[in-house]
């Protein structure tokens, strides 16, 4: 009986969490006539919504957003890995990173805008890249991963005459691969999901998919099919990457919370 | 050496802006115009601005509803999942909302939960005819007109997004409880409920503290959901402090005033997070 209640609770939870996804996938294929007449429970299948996306400029936004977020993530990993290594080696700056970790990107809106105003960064796509080229979150996650690495390996490599660069690339990179993937996916997601930041920092021409989509809702609030098609395709890249690495991500994240 | 690039970026785009924002807060400045220093006038205006006080109140309401339900759900779900066959699978699903495209998720919620004509309401009326007495209880609340329901919508959306993180944190802590402790309790004749109450829950306290502190920071500063779902409305009922800052700074172009509000929010966050950490340590 008690177990039955437990399973029921989990089943309800799963349904509630999955419902928006299921609806998104269903509505994307609804023929517009059915949406307009309010007959969404009648079965219909149409690809019209997807075709209607191209004239709105969807594909360019998608490619552009993928590019910007990938570049920012790559830079964050490139700066974060050596930084985490230095912290693991005993650099006394962990506190600073933990403090910065507690400051979410949303909080930076006014301060960053003020600093960027007057520089040529404001209004250009670089405003979406340079401020994210170092991430305290990435550093922290990688540092937690490095703490679990038996440090004799590094010392042995050093005795064999390996330089710091070689140690990072040849010794630690293969061991840390799951952590790098996790940090990469999570920081990509964080960057991908910025909405107000790109809206404020760049002009309409350089808005990311997120901002564009928030605008689309205002433009066509009742065209559910079109909106859902955009939502579905905009979610797929991240969802696919996540599904691909899901086991690693959840395990690595959980593991880094234990320490 | 390895720290240099990372520190450089963080100093330029992380620390330096925080020093500058103090200066901005003493300016009358649109962000693009020439700044006029006006001393503490922005702060004086904040203290008498009814919109500011209202948004402070809304933020408090939001946090007071979100945090307890977030903690309770994280604990409940983590305990319910512990050791089940589907544990890993469900955790993977719970984590997904936090990663998917934010505005896509908002689109889905918006169309699904629109009052009167939304998809969920249509579905409910198809399953249960509108004329039946049961249908009266299955109405999607009018969150486009009633501030309270609008706030609950934002709370639900926030919980949906972050529950996966909460469950992972509690679950990681659950797994680090040595099995021998629980076995010892059972040998001493403790019922499963007693073991939960006197062994498991006390050992989960650090995880709960962590969630509470992080959750407070998130709750005080999350306003993207507000932008996507309600734009602060209706009647300012969901205009949390973060969204107030956005509106003042980037819709009314008063960046100096927004900077002053940012500093107030920052101090509030630090104070509350510190107080909570102290409180939880003592108890």
Residue B12 token pair: 């330029």
Confidence at residue A78, expressed as pLDDT on a 0 to 100 scale: 92
Q: How many CB atoms lie within 10 A of CB B185?
A: 18
Torsion on CA atoms B262, A205, A231, A217, rounded to nearest 10:
70
Query: Which range of residues forms the domain containing residue A10?
Result: 1-46
In whole angstroms, how far apart are CA A229 and each of A199, A217, A243, B190?
Answer: 22, 12, 20, 55
| Yes or no, beta carbons of A40 and B13 under 8 Å apart | no
Confidence at residue A105, expressed as pLDDT on a 0 to 100 scale: 62
Q: At CB < 8 A and 24+ separation, what contacts does B73-78 make? A: B73/B159, B73/B163, B73/B166, B74/B163, B74/B166, B74/B167, B74/B169, B74/B170, B74/B211, B75/B170, B75/B204, B75/B208, B76/A9, B77/A10, B77/A13, B77/B163, B77/B166, B77/B167, B78/B166, B78/B167, B78/B170, B78/B171, B78/B174
Q: Is B243 on the interface with A (CB under 8 A)?
A: no
Confidence at residue A70, expressed as pLDDT on a 0 to 100 scale: 94
Q: Render B213-240 in DSSP notation, one character per residue.
A: HHHHHHHHH--HHHHHHTTT-STTTT--
- Note whether residue A83 is domain-resident: yes
Contacts of B107 in chain A (CB under 8 A): 24, 213, 217, 227-228, 230-231
Local confidence pLDDT in tens for the 283 residues of chain B: 678 888 888 888 878 888 888 888 888 888 777 888 888 888 888 889 999 999 999 988 999 999 999 999 999 999 888 888 888 888 888 888 887 778 888 888 888 888 877 778 877 777 777 777 777 777 778 787 888 888 999 999 999 998 988 998 888 888 888 888 888 888 888 887 888 888 888 888 888 888 888 888 777 777 888 888 888 778 878 888 888 989 888 888 888 898 898 888 888 888 887 787 777 677 6
Residue B208 token pair: 């709960």
Quick one: A13 and A96 in the same domain?
no
**pLDDT beneath 50, residues of chain A:** none
| Yes or no, beta carbons of A231 and B107 under 8 Å apart | yes
- Note whether residue A116 is domain-resident: yes
Quick one: A218 and A113 in the same domain?
yes
Confidence at residue B70, expressed as pLDDT on a 0 to 100 scale: 94
Considering only the beta carbons, identify the residue of B31, B126, B171 that sits closest to A114.
B31
Quick one: A160 and A210 in the same domain?
yes
| Yes or no, beta carbons of A231 and B104 under 8 Å apart | yes
- Note whether residue A69 is domain-resident: yes
CB contacts < 8 Å between A and B, how many? 255
Quick one: A22 and A71 in the same domain?
no
List pLDDT tens digits, range A60-104.
Answer: 999 999 999 999 999 999 999 999 998 888 888 888 888 787 776
Residue A89 token pair: 């080696």
- Note whether residue A52 is domain-resident: no
Quick one: A38 and A113 in the same domain?
no
* CB contact at 8 A, B140 and B112: no
Quick one: A168 and A121 in the same domain?
yes
Peptide bond into A175 cis (omega under 30): no
Confidence at residue A246, expressed as pLDDT on a 0 to 100 scale: 78
Angle between helices B255-282 and A109-116 (to 10 degrees): 140
Phi, psi dihedrals of residue A123, rounded to the nearest 5°: 90, -10
What domain count does chain A have?
2
Quick one: A71 and A185 in the same domain?
yes
Q: Is A235 on the interface with B (CB under 8 A)?
A: yes
pTM (predicted TM-score): 0.87
Strands B36-37 and B27-28: what pairing? antiparallel
Confidence at residue B160, expressed as pLDDT on a 0 to 100 scale: 92
- Note whether residue A110 is domain-resident: yes
**Residue B27, SS3 per DSSP:** strand
Quick one: A107 and A235 in the same domain?
yes
What single DSSP character describes residue B36?
E
| Yes or no, beta carbons of B126 and A246 under 8 Å apart | no
Q: How many helices (H) and strands (E) does chain B have?
A: 15, 2
Quick one: A183 and A222 in the same domain?
yes
Confidence at residue B2, expressed as pLDDT on a 0 to 100 scale: 73
Quick one: A36 and A86 in the same domain?
no
* CB contact at 8 A, B46 and A132: no
Residue B64 token pair: 């007071």
Q: Is B177 on the interface with A (CB under 8 A)?
A: no
Contact map slice: B 45-104 vs A, CB within 8 A: 76-77, 80-81, 84, 86, 88, 90-104
The answer to whether domain B50-105+141-282 has CATH 1.10.3720.10 is: yes
Q: Is A163 on the interface with B (CB under 8 A)?
A: no
Secondary structure in 3-state letters for A170-187: HHHHHHCHHHHHHHHHHH
Minimum CA–CA partner of A121 in chain B: B13
Quick one: A31 and A67 in the same domain?
no
Return d(Cα A168, Cα A156) in angstroms, integer.
Answer: 13
Confidence at residue B28, expressed as pLDDT on a 0 to 100 scale: 82
Note the ipTM here. Answer: 0.84
| Yes or no, beta carbons of B227 and A224 under 8 Å apart | no
What single DSSP character describes residue B196?
I
- Note whether residue A13 is domain-resident: yes
- Note whether residue A53 is domain-resident: no
Quick one: A33 and A64 in the same domain?
no
């Amino acid at each position: 009986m008690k177990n039955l209640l437990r399973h029921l609770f989990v089943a309800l939870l799963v349904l509630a969490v999955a419902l928006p996804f299921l609806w998104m996938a269903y509505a994307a294929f609804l023929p517009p006539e059915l949406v307009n007449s309010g007959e969404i429970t009648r079965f219909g299948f149409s690809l019209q919504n997807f075709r209607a996306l191209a004239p709105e400029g969807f594909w360019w936004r998608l490619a552009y957003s993928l590019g910007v977020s990938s570049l920012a993530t790559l830079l964050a990993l490139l700066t974060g890995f050596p930084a985490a290594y230095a912290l693991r080696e005993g650099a006394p700056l962990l506190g600073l990173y933990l403090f910065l970790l507690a400051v979410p990107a949303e909080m930076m809106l006014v301060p960053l805008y003020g600093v960027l105003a007057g520089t040529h960064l404001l209004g250009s796509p670089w405003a979406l890249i340079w401020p994210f080229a170092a991430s305290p979150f990435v550093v922290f996650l990688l540092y937690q991963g490095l703490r679990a690495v038996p440090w004799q390996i590094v010392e042995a490599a050093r005795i064999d005459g390996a330089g710091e660069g070689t140690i990072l690339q040849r010794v630690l990179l293969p061991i840390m691969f799951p952590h790098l993937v996790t940090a990469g996916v999570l920081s990509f997601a964080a960057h991908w999901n910025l909405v107000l930041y790109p809206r404020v920092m760049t002009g309409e021409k350089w808005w990311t998919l997120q901002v564009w989509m928030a605008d689309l809702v205002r433009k066509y609030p009742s065209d559910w099919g079109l909106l859902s098609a955009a939502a579905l395709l905009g979610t797929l890249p991240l969802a696919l990457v996540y599904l691909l690495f899901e086991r690693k991500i959840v395990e690595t994240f959980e593991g880094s919370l234990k320490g | 050496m390895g720290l240099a690039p990372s520190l450089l970026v963080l100093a330029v785009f992380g620390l330096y802006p925080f020093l500058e924002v103090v200066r901005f807060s003493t300016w009358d400045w649109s962000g693009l115009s020439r700044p006029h220093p006006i001393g503490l006038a922005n702060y004086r205006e904040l203290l008498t601005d009814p919109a500011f006080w209202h948004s402070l109140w809304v933020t408090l309401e939001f946090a007071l509803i979100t945090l307890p339900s977030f903690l309770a759900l994280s604990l409940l779900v983590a305990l319910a999942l512990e050791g089940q066959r589907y544990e890993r699978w469900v955790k993977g699903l719970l984590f997904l909302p936090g990663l998917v495209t934010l505005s896509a998720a908002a689109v889905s919620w918006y169309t699904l939960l629109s009052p009167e004509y939304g998809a969920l309401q249509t579905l409910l009326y198809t399953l249960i005819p509108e004329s039946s007495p049961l249908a009266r209880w299955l109405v999607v609340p009018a969150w486009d007109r009633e501030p309270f329901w609008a706030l609950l919508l934002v709370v639900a959306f926030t919980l949906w997004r972050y529950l996966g993180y909460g469950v992972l944190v509690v679950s990681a802590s659950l797994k680090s409880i040595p099995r021998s402790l629980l076995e010892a309790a059972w040998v001493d004749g403790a019922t499963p409920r007693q073991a939960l109450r006197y062994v498991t829950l006390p050992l989960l306290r650090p995880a709960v503290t962590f969630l509470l502190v992080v959750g407070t920071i998130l709750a005080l500063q999350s306003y993207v959901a507000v932008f996507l779902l309600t734009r602060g409305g209706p009647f300012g009922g969901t205009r949390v402090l973060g969204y107030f800052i956005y509106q003042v700074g980037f819709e009314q172009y008063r960046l100096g005033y927004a900077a002053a509000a940012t500093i107030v929010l920052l101090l509030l966050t630090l104070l509350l997070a510190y107080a909570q950490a102290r409180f939880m340590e003592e108890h």
